[in-house]
Structure 1
Amino acid sequence: MQPHINLPAPYLPHTGLMAAFEACPLIAILRGVTPVDAVEHARALYEAGFRIVEVPLNSPRPFDSIAAIREALPVDAIVGAGTVLHASFVHDVKAAGGELIVMPHSDPEVVSAAKTHGMACAPGVATPTEAFIALKNGADVLKMFPAEQLGVHVVKAWRAVIAAEVPLVPVGGIAPDNMGPFLSAGANGFGLGSALYKPGQSAATTAAHAKAFVDGLRAARAGAKS
C-alpha cells in the first residue's frame, strides 16, 4: 500500500494566483518589453484568455512596465516580475503593483520576501530536493526549469511524489504543439517565453501567438483525457 504523500509544510497558496491559474494556466513572459509597448501586448494577451503576465527584471525599466500593465488590466489578472534574483527587488515589484515573483532559482530569501509581502511566488526548481525545499519555504507553484532539459519523464516522476494540489509548471521550450505529453505526465500549466513574445514584435503578432497557445492547450487537454 502506497503511503500518503504529505507536504513538507501547510500548503496555503495565493488565492488570486490560483484563481488566475485555474482560468488559464499559461504564464506570459514578456522578456525585453518596454513601458511604451507593455500595455498593448498585455491587453492582447488578456483578450486571448491569458490571466498571468510577468515582466522579467532584465527588461528595460521593468517596474514601469509592471505598473502600466497592472493599471491597464482587470483585477482578475495577476501581474508580476520574473528573473527576480535578489530579495531586495521584491519590495520594488510590490510597490509597482506586482503580485507575483517568478525566479529561475529557489533562493529561500526571495521566496520568504515574497510571502512576507503577501505575494505569490514561483521559484525555479530542477531537482526534487529543490522542489520540496521551495514548498517548505512557501512556494505557490513549482517552476520546472529548464523544461527542455528536464523533459516529460521527469515531470511524471515528480508528479508521483509531489502532492496533486501543487501545480507543476514547466518553463523553457514550450510550444503550442508540445504541451500534451507534459499534461499527460502531470504538468498543470506552462511558462511561455520567446515562442510567445519577442521584443519588437507587434501586438497583433503577440495576439496570434497567444491564440495559438490557448488553442494548443485546449487540444492538449482534450488529447490527455482521451
Structure 2
Amino acid sequence: MDRIPLPPMRHPLIAILRGLKPEEAESVVGILIETGFTAIEIPLNSPEPFRSIEMAVNMAPAGCLIGAGTVLRTDQVERLADVGGRLMVSPNVEPAVIRLAATKGMVTMPGVFTPTEALSATAAGASGLKFFPASVLGPAGIAAIRAVLPGDIEIAAVGGVSEVNFADYAAIGIRSFGLGSSLYKPGMSAAQVRQRAVATLAAYDAVYGGKK
C-alpha cells in the first residue's frame, strides 16, 4: 500500500489535547484553528474522546487534520473512522493498526524510539514517524537514527518539546512537532490556550520563517 502523505501545512505542528473534555472541545479547538493550527490530536485516554473528536471534525474547515492519539487497537481505528477522524497517532508500532488506518485514508504517525521501531513503522506504510519521547533522544539521537531511514519519511519530534527548543531541532532538519502540555493542559482557560498558541506559532515562524 502506498504511504498516505501528510498534507502540506504552513505550520506542521500537531496540537495534542490530552485530557480535553467534550464541553471544552469547540472552544479550544476553535481557538487553535483560528490562530493557525491545522492538525489536532485528541488522545483516547481523554474523557469521551470520540465525542470530542467528532465535534472537532464537524467544526473544522476543510484541510484540517483531526484525529486521535494513543490509538492501540484496530477497533479504535474503526471507531475513529466512524466519527470522521483523518489522523491516527499511536505511542507504539503495531503494523495491523497502521495498515488498517491507512485503508481508511488516515494519516498515520506511530511512535518510535529505536531504529528497529522506525524501520518497522516505515515498512508498515506509516505516513510519518513520531520520535517519542524526543526529550530523551534529543536532536542528536534523532539525527543518528534518521541516517538509516528513507529520506522522504516525515519525522516529528514529540514529548518534552516546546517553542524553546525549536531551533535545536531545526539544526538537524526537523520541522514537524507534536505539542502537548506546552500548549494545552486540562483546566486552562480559552484565553490561556490562545496566548500559548499565538506565542508558539510566533516562535516557530521566528526559527523557520518561510521554510517548507
How far the C-alpha of 1:129 sits from its partner, in A, is 1.2
How far the C-alpha of 1:200 sits from its partner, in A, is 1.1
Say whether 1:118 aligns with 2:102: no
CA deviations over 1:32-83 (Å, ceiling 9, x no partner):
1011111111111111111000100000100000000111110110100000
Aligned residues, how many?
212
Q: What does 1:70-149 align with in structure 2 at a 5 Å threshold?
A: 70-149=57-136
With over 3 angstroms needed to count, the CA separation of the structure-2 counterparts of 1:185 and 1:11, relative to structure 1, is farther
- Cross-structure match for 1:3: none
CA deviations over 1:128-176 (Å, ceiling 9, x no partner):
1111110110100100000111111012213323233211101011111
Distance (whole Å) between structure 2 residues aligned to residue 165 and residue 209 of structure 1: 31
Say whether 1:13 aligns with 2:7: no
How far the C-alpha of 1:181 sits from its partner, in A, is 0.9
With over 3 angstroms needed to count, the CA separation of the structure-2 counterparts of 1:182 and 1:192, relative to structure 1, is same
How far the C-alpha of 1:182 sits from its partner, in A, is 0.8
How far the C-alpha of 1:95 sits from its partner, in A, is 0.6
Secondary structure of the structure 1 residue equivalent to 2:169: helix
Distance (whole Å) between structure 1 residues aligned to residue 10 and residue 2 of structure 2: 20
How far the C-alpha of 1:11 sits from its partner, in A, is 5.5
- Cross-structure match for 2:170: 183
Distance (whole Å) between structure 2 residues aligned to residue 77 and residue 99 of structure 1: 9
CA deviations over 1:87-126 (Å, ceiling 9, x no partner):
1100101111101110000111211121121211100000
Distance (whole Å) between structure 2 residues aligned to residue 111 and residue 159 of structure 1: 20
Distance (whole Å) between structure 1 residues aligned to residue 185 and residue 171 of structure 2: 28
Percent identity of equivalent pairs: 41
CA deviations over 1:167-222 (Å, ceiling 9, x no partner):
11010111111111112112131000111101111111111111111111112225
The question of whether the paired residues in 2 share the 8 Å contact of 1:168 and 1:186 is answered with: no
- Cross-structure match for 1:7: none
TM-score by length of 1: 0.89
The question of whether the paired residues in 2 share the 8 Å contact of 1:159 and 1:186 is answered with: no
Secondary structure of the structure 2 residue equivalent to 1:187: coil
> Counterpart of 2:159 in structure 1: which amino acid?
G
Q: What does 1:30-45 align with in structure 2 at a 5 Å threshold?
A: 30-45=17-32
Say whether 1:163 aligns with 2:150: yes
With over 3 angstroms needed to count, the CA separation of the structure-2 counterparts of 1:143 and 1:13, relative to structure 1, is same
* Structure 1 unmatched runs, 5+: 1-9
TM-score by length of 2: 0.94
Q: CA RMSD in A?
A: 1.8
Choose from 198, 203, 209 the match for 1:216.
Answer: 203
* Structure 2 unmatched runs, 5+: none
